[in-house]
Each structure stands twice: as structure tokens, then as C-alpha cells.
Structure 1
Amino acid sequence: MGRPPRHDADRLLDVAAGLAATEGPGGVTMAAVARGAEAPSGSVYHRFPTHPALLAALWLRSVERFQAGFLDALTAPDPGDAARAAARHVVAWSRANPTDTTILLYGAHDFGADAWPDEERDRLARANRGVARAVRALAGRLGDTTAQGVDLVRLATVDLPYSLVRRHRGRRLPRHAEDLVVHGVSALLDL
């Protein structure tokens, strides 16, 4: 039985995330990750064969972590509760995960999404389609599947809480932030 790797992919991505949060996407280089992890550069290249592959893995890990809770919130049996829970999740998750939030606030394009390997670009597209389907399904549960109805649900559950998180970028979100987005969702969706 072999020994576990000293520099596994998650550890390297943790270092990359820290670099992204403090220096921005441009600070995430293969050499900087190796230095930060005190790993030989070969360990980084073994896990991530190219710089775009590293950036894709970093972005996808953050977005998938976020989307898992968001999608779970949308499954609440009562559609009004689902909308409120989804909006609350955006703020609560952002408060609990400031490094991942900083990464997501930059956007995939800032992490070179156009140069990502096809498989990772497809993975992001699938994840985003899953969120879009879940938002459409919630709009249907709320009784309005028109384009305007779906846009309203997206505004309430994604755009409103995201704008509050963005406004507090780099600062601690206020304790009342979740309550604000819940009130906003209730008002926008007339719940």
C-alpha cells in the first residue's frame, strides 16, 4: 500500500484559492502555487498539466461548492420557502466561504475560461444549465413559466443576494444581510 500524496489536488487548490483571494486571478501561477504549497513544481504539473487546467479546477471547485447548497435550497417543498432559502444561501454561504466567494466574484472569464480544456468548459456549462433548470422549475412551482416570470425568480434568488454580497466585497457581510434578501425575495415574488 502506497503512502498518500503529500501534495494532493485539494491542498494545491487551497493554496491557489488563497493566492486568488489576496492577489487576484493573475497571482495564481504554477510557480506561486508550488511555492505556497512548498511542493516541487512537478507535483503541481502532475495534478494540473497546464495553467488553464489549474485555473479551471480552482473556479469549478468554488462554483460547484456554491451551487450544491443553492440547488439544495431550491428543493424545499414549499416554493416560497425554496425561493427564500436559495436567496439566504447566497448570503450565508458567502459569509462562511470568503475565499471561494472572492473567486466567484471575479467571474470565470477572469480565470481564463476561454482557454480552459474542453472538458472543464463543458462541466461549467452543465453546472450552469442545472441552475437555470432549477430556477425555471421554481418559477413553474410559483405559477409563472413565462420568460418574465423566470427572470423575476432569477432576480429574486440570484441577482438580489449576489448584489448585496458584491457590495460588501472584501468586508464582512452584516448580520442582517440574510434577512434583507429574504424580505427582498418576499416582496419581489409577492410571497
Structure 2
Amino acid sequence: MPRPPRFDTGELLDAAVRLAAEGGPTAVTMSAVAQAAGAPSGSVYHRFPGRPALLAEVWLRTVEAFQEGYLAVLDADPDPRRAARAGARHVVAWSRAHPAEAALLLYGAEEFGRSGWSDEHRERADRGNGRVFARLGELGAALGETGPRGGDRIVLALVDLPLAVVRRPLRAGLPLPPHAEDLAEESAATLLG
């Protein structure tokens, strides 16, 4: 009977998140992850065939965790205005609860080597983004925000502005201010009328 692995994939990805939060995507190498996890490099190569797969998995695990919660919040309230405000708050609240992951997501998939990912990884990323943008489109339509301009307004209100609230403190290694969620919600409500 083979012995169970000493280091699981989650532990290795947790180490990769810490490295990315501290040093950006370039800090996430196979050997750096092994060292940060206290694992032999063979453990990393056993789970990820190369750095592109490692970068894809650390990005996708992080963004999918965010998207799951974000979609749940947008779907929780049938009133589109309340759902929009809750969505803006969620971006900040999730970032507060997961500062390392939020710092990682501020870089973007391209900086995590998306062009070198496998087809499967790129399709997984596209599916997740498609679900989020489809839901934002539905919410925008319910708010009367249609067409290209309306689509841009809803993305600005529920994605870009809340990310702007968290970007500066996270990049400076500072905690989010206590009023950050309120600021994101107020900005979204003002923009959407």
C-alpha cells in the first residue's frame, strides 16, 4: 500500500499564494514553493508538471473561490439595487478576510502566465469569467443598465471601484480601513443611481 503524500496540493498552493502576495507572480517558482512549504521539490513536480500549471492552479483556485462567494451574494437578494450594493461590499469584505489572495488577484491572469496555460486551464478561467459577467449583465438589465455603456457602468460599479478601494492598502501591505466596505457600497449606489 503506498504511503499517503506528506504534502497535499492545497498546502503547496497556499505556499504559492503567500509567495505571490509578498513578491508577485515572479516569486512563484517550483523551487520557491517547495521551500516555502518545507517540501521536497519532487512533491511540487509530482502535482504540477511545470510552472505554467502551478501558476494556473494558484490563480484559478483563488479566483474561483472569490467568484463563488461573489455570485452567491449577487443571487441572494432579488432586489437588484440591494444585490448590487451587496456585491460591491463583498469585493471589499472578501479582500479583508483573504488579504493574500486579494493581493494575488490584483495582478490579473495574464501576469500569472495565462498565455502559457493549458487549454483546460484557459477554458476553466473563461467559464468562471463568463458566469460572473453573465450575472452582472442580468443585474445590469434589471437596473436598466443595458448596452455597452450600461455594461461598463455595472462593471465599474461592482468590480472596478471596489477593487480600487482595496488596491492601495493591499499593495502597501496595510490593513483595509474600517470604512472600506461602506465606501465601496456608497460608490456603487451613487454610480448606479
Q: What's the counterpart of residue 125 of structure 1?
A: 126
Q: What's the counterpart of residue 160 of structure 2?
A: 159
1:41 aligns with 2:44: no
Amino acid corresponding to residue 118 of structure 1 in structure 2:
D
Q: CA deviation at 1:174?
A: 0.5
1:187 aligns with 2:190: yes
Amino acid corresponding to residue 43 of structure 1 in structure 2:
S
Q: What's the counterpart of residue 78 of structure 1?
A: 79
| C-alpha distance in structure 2 between counterparts of 1:144 and 1:178, whole Å | 23
Amino acid corresponding to residue 56 of structure 2 in structure 1:
A
Amino acid corresponding to residue 119 of structure 2 in structure 1:
D
> Which consecutive segments of 4 or more residues in structure 1 shift more than 6 A?
none
1:27 aligns with 2:27: yes
Q: What's the counterpart of residue 16 of structure 2?
A: 16
1:82-121 equivalences in 2 (<5 Å): 82-121=83-122
The TM-score normalised by the length of structure 2 is 0.93
Q: What's the CA shift string for 1:28-81, capped at 9, x where partnerless?
A: 111111122222212111111111000000011111111111111111211011
- Aligned residue pairs total 190
Residue of structure 2 aligned with 1:178, choices 177, 181, 193? 181
Point out the more displaced range, 166-175 or 46-55: 166-175
| C-alpha distance in structure 2 between counterparts of 1:188 and 1:144, whole Å | 11
| C-alpha distance in structure 2 between counterparts of 1:72 and 1:34, whole Å | 34
Q: What's the counterpart of residue 168 of structure 1?
A: 169
Q: CA deviation at 1:144?
A: 3.2
Amino acid corresponding to residue 141 of structure 1 in structure 2:
A
Q: CA deviation at 1:3?
A: 5.1
Please give the root-mean-square deviation of Cα atoms over the aligned residues, in Å: 1.3
**Which ranges of structure 1 fall in alignment gaps of 5 or more residues?**
none
